[in-house]
Amino acid sequence: MKQAIILGVMLLSIGWFANDVVSSNYETPSVFVSKELISPGDRIKDSQILVYKDKIVIYVDDANWAKYTNTNSMDGFLDVGSTGIELRPKDEFDVQIGDVITYNAEWSDSLIAHRVIDVGYDQDGWYAIAKGDNVAYADPGKIRFEEIEFILVGVLY
**Residues 53-90 pLDDT 10s:** 999 999 999 899 999 988 999 998 999 989 999 999 99
Rounded CA-CA distance 149/130 in Å is 14
Please give the DSSP secondary-structure letter assigned to residue 96. Answer: -
CATH number for the domain whose boundaries are 46-156: 2.10.109.10
pLDDT at 46: 94
Question: For residues 134 and 113, what is the distance between their CA atoms, to the nearest angstrom?
Answer: 12
**What is the pLDDT at residue 49?**
95
- Threshold 0.85, pTM exceeds: no
10 Å CB burial of residue 138 (0-12, 13-18, 19+) is: middle
* Residue 117: CB atoms within 10 Å: 15
Quickly count: other Cβ atoms within 10 Å of residue 115's Cβ: 24
Ranges of residues in the chain whose predicted pLDDT is under 50: none
